[in-house]
Amino acid sequence: MLEVRNLSVEIHGKPILDGLDLTVRAGEVAAIMGPNGSGKSTLSYVIAGKPDYDVVSGEVLLDGENILELSPDERAAKGLFLAFQYPVEIPGVVTMTFLKATMNAQRRARGLKEMTTPDFIRAERAAADRLNIDQEMLRRPLNVGFSGGEKKRMEILQMALLQPRLAILDETDSGLDIDALRIVADGVNALRDKERAFLVITHYQRLLDHIKPDTVHVMSKGRIVKTGGPELALELELNGYRDYAADAA
Amino acid sequence: MAAVQETVDRVRSIDVGEYKYGFVSDIESDKAPKGLSEDIVRFISAKKGEPDWLLQWRLDAYRRWLTMDEPKWARVEHPPIDYQDLYYFSAPKSTPGPKSLDEVDPELLRTYAKLGIPLIEQEILAGVERPRVAVDAVFDSVSVATTFKAELAKAGVIFCSFSEAVHNHPELVRKYLGTVVPATDNFYATLNSAVFSDGSFVYVPPGVRCPMELSTYFRINEKNTGQFERTLIIADKGAYVSYLEGCTAPKRDENQLHAAVVELVALEDAEIKYSTVQNWYPGDSEGKGGIYNFVTKRGDCRGARSKISWTQVETGSAITWKYPSCILRGDKSRGEFYSIAISNGRQQVDSGTKMIHLGKDTTSRIISKGIAAGHSQNTYRGQVSAHRLATGARNFTNCDSLLIGQNCGAHTVPYIEAKNNSAVFEHEATTSKISEDQLFYCLQRGLSGEEATALIVNGFVRDVLQQLPMEFAVEAQKLIAISLEGSVG
């Protein structure tokens, strides 16, 4: 489903990704682990289309189509979702309004009819209940004054409503206590199916106790340096990133 | 070429010499030649069959106006206006409007379509010439209007055109006209006093809560009030009225200069809520042909515990020069000003308010949200002052500006003056830009750049939108999105 080929990326002339290759198949949950500064977040931003990054070479294929020339909203319409490490606050914009606007924008882009308000409320209630999100929270401005855990749950709620084909979770576990972590993981697991792929970016093994990956990639200095099964994550937990940092240095 | 400019040019090309008859004696004629003189003022007054006192009032204003200069302090620029090159009474019948919508600025039509305005109504707004029958068929609101009038009459509320009021309620007009905005007030208000065409008149008797929101919508369809509008609203003791002015549809007008005057009078314990949505034609993308909107709006909280609240959504006009103000004369009276001013393209906005605290324990609140995009300039200019005797006066001011893009400007010019030391004035101001992170976040969720900007801006102005009557707020929200189109690269 996702194929990243020889991707090199710079920001303000400084190289961040260096000939990165990565393949994620439909139905797969792939984890990317790596030390701070290895380029994990940059990879997620470049796939999602954040400006300010210069792609020096390479391709990002989604279902065989190079999406690097597409705007972020066009990529979203193709089923790409990024759960942000630091979800952005939008003052004055009621969360409910935002959710409905995004769902309908994607539906329009796919040539579908817009959702009616009752249909939207039904979908939103069901998804929010599963994530233990109070309706009152959805009447507040998006992410404004939300705790770290609330922000992350809100990201997963949006993912559940938008039903992406490829979801990238960027350090979704950071700042979560163990209960919140379980709720978030349950939300992700509920969406797992053979048509949908996940790219789970994390620094720590603990998220992967709850979201069992099929594949684990280790990233260092802007490229994937090792690929293996879930056991690789455990090994990292034991030995840390020392080997990889040294290897790349 | 923009339709407005086209028409303006066409109007200009008509030779005044065509006009063969002396206009002063020819009361039956519908036209006066270009230019302004005492005779023109007399002509206007005579056409309306006005009483002598009103004619004298107009003439005094005219003589005063001759001695005045245009105000120069606002942050707006425009070529000099030749006041002798304008028509002051109903443009000549030979002035052709566009023959069909094909001759109208396509940008304007696109906006109409987005607002969901029916085709035939679009033609009327764009000033396409049609047989009157068709117009009446579209605005089949006569029966509705009649029902409304009956209900208002039952409550004792007077709501009519200014001209009707001069004839039917001369004592009220004479008592209040010019008592809030004196005929000598400023260049444009004085000009208006001399040549005003028509407008609205409202009187709510003591203790009456006006049973409905009063809207100009019904009345304006009866008659085009033109460029020198004059409105007078009086809420007698303990009365309440909410008045809605304007229309979200961008209305084309062949008159480039608009100089309206609005006067509000609130007596003891009375409350007036005045809401405006202003969306006059802003000109084309080069700024050509838009309306100059030079308006004087002022409310007088004349009685104790009275309240006047202005809410405005300003998105149109090439130039906006407008400061809806409150004179807080009565003890414990309250003034409010809620404003959203959006400028895009080459628009220039210089708008704000004045809160003049004269009475004891008077309070005022100012919430202003300015949004500048494109190559526009957006200035908030406000004055808060407390008189020596206005002990315990309080004001809270919050001015936020939002910039979209690199080529626009937002400016805040507050004047604060307290002449007694018990006055408490608070002032907050912020200027921000829509952050790249906010935009990217919205785009990642599937919103287009324009949708995202509109959403963020709507969030920015939410406090003010909430002050608008419900149905107005929904329209205003749509309008904000449309006004900002093309502002995101």
DSSP code for B342? E
Q: B31 or A184, which is more confident?
A: A184
Q: Looking at the complex, report in whole angstroms how far the Cα of residue B427 sits from the nearest Cα belonging to chain A.
A: 21
CA distance B118 to B272: 33
Model pLDDT, residue B33: 75
Give burial (CB, 10 Å; 0-12/13-18/19+) of B79: exposed
Q: DSSP readout, B76-142?
A: ---PPP-GGGS--SS--TT----SSGGGS-HHHHHHHHHHT--HHHHHHHTT----HHHHHHH---H
Q: Which of B250, B292, B253 is nearest to B83 (CA)?
A: B292
Sequence-distant (6+) residues with CB within 8 A of B340 are B312, B313, B314, B369, B371, B461, B464, B465, B476, B480
A42's torsion region: left (phi>0), alpha (psi -120 to 50) or beta? alpha
Provide the CB-side half-sphere exposure for B272 (13 A, CA): 31
CB atoms within 10 A of CB B433: 13
Task: Enter the tokens of residue A36.
Answer: 């701070």
Q: Is the CB of B436 inside 8 Å of chain A's CB atoms?
A: yes
Does residue B15 sit in helix, strand or coil? Answer: coil
Q: Is the CB of B116 inside 8 Å of chain A's CB atoms?
A: no
B329's torsion region: left (phi>0), alpha (psi -120 to 50) or beta? alpha
Torsion sign over Cα A41, A43, A49, A51: positive
Model pLDDT, residue B114: 59
Indicate which of B340, B367, B430, B442 best probes the interface with A, i.e. most A CBs within 10 Å of its own CB. B442
Give burial (CB, 10 Å; 0-12/13-18/19+) of B19: middle
CB contact under 8 A, B441 and A90: yes
Sequence-distant (6+) residues with CB within 8 A of A189 are A210, A211
Does residue B482 sit in helix, strand or coil? Answer: helix
Amino acid (one-letter) located at A188: V
Q: Which residues pair with B294 in a beta bridge?
A: B321
Q: Which of A4-13, A224-233, B217-226 has the lowest mean pLDDT?
A: B217-226
Task: Extract the residue ranges of chain B whose pLDDT is less than 50.
Answer: 1-29, 91-96, 129-144, 217-225, 489
Model pLDDT, residue B225: 43
Task: Enter the tokens of residue B96.
Answer: 């052709």
Q: Tens digit of pLDDT for each residue in B313-368?
A: 998 888 899 999 999 999 999 999 999 998 888 889 999 999 999 999 999 999 99
CA distances from B392 to A84, B331, B337, B422 (A): 50, 10, 20, 5
B443 → closest Cβ in A73, A81, A92: A73
CA distance A42 to A46: 6
**Which residues in chain A have Cβ-Cβ distances shorter than 8 Å to B481?**
none
**Which residues in chain B have Cβ-Cβ distances shorter than 8 Å to A51?**
436, 440
CA distance B5 to B15: 18
pLDDT at A225 over 70: yes
Q: Which residues pair with B293 in a beta bridge?
A: B258, B320
Model pLDDT, residue B47: 84
Q: Is the CB of B444 inside 8 Å of chain A's CB atoms?
A: yes
A88 → closest Cβ in B438, B458, B459: B438
Amino acid (one-letter) located at B346: R
Indicate which of B371, B435, B437, B443 best probes the interface with A, i.e. most A CBs within 10 Å of its own CB. B443
CA distance A226 to A161: 34
Considering chain A, what is the average pLDDT of its residues?
A: 92
CA distance A238 to B298: 75
Model pLDDT, residue A71: 96
Sequence-distant (6+) residues with CB within 8 A of A123 are A103, A115, A161
Q: Is the CB of B481 inside 8 Å of chain A's CB atoms?
A: no
ipTM: 0.95
Q: DSSP readout, A102-119?
A: HHHHHHHHTTPPPPPHHH
CB atoms within 10 A of CB B456: 23
Model pLDDT, residue B86: 79
Model pLDDT, residue B10: 39
Q: Tens digit of pLDDT for each residue in A91-150?
A: 989 999 999 999 999 999 999 999 999 999 999 999 999 998 999 999 999 999 999 889
Element (H, E) at B453: helix B449-460
Residue of B nearest to A141 (CA): B459
CA distance A67 to A23: 15
**Which residues in chain A have Cβ-Cβ distances shorter than 8 Å to B449?**
71, 73
CA distance A198 to B195: 71
**Which residues in chain B have Cβ-Cβ distances shorter than 8 Å to A82?**
444
Model pLDDT, residue A168: 97
CA distance B279 to B253: 12
Residue burial B119-148, b: 16+ Cβ < 10 Å; e: rest? eeebbbbbbbeeeeeeeeeebeeeeeeeeb
CB contact under 8 A, B458 and A109: no
0.80 exceeded by pTM = no
Model pLDDT, residue A151: 94
Task: Enter the tokens of residue A244.
Answer: 């990889």
Strand B158-161 versus strand B200-204 pairing type: antiparallel
Indicate which of B436, B441, B465, B474 best probes the interface with A, i.e. most A CBs within 10 Å of its own CB. B441
Task: Enter the tokens of residue A35.
Answer: 């030390």
CA distance B161 to B141: 17
Query: Could you say which residues from 113 to 172 on chain A have a Cβ atom under 8 Å away from some Cβ of chain B?
Result: 141, 158, 162
Q: Where are the alpha helices (DSSP H) in A110-249?
A: 117-130, 135-138, 148-162, 178-191, 206-210, 231-239, 242-248
Please report where in the chains the tokens 């840390």 appear, as a residue. Answer: A240
A88 → closest Cβ in B437, B458, B460: B437
Q: B222 or A183, which is more confident?
A: A183
Q: Which of B352, B369, B336 is nearest to B458 (CA)?
A: B369
Phi, psi dihedrals of residue A140, rounded to the nearest 5°: -90, 160
CB contact under 8 A, B456 and A90: yes
Q: Which residues pair with B396 in a beta bridge?
A: B365, B426
Give yes or no for a contact between B76 and B191, defined as CB atoms under 8 angstroms apart.
no
Q: In what order do the strands lie in the sheet with A80-83?
A: A80-83, A166-170, A197-202, A29-33, A215-220, A223-228
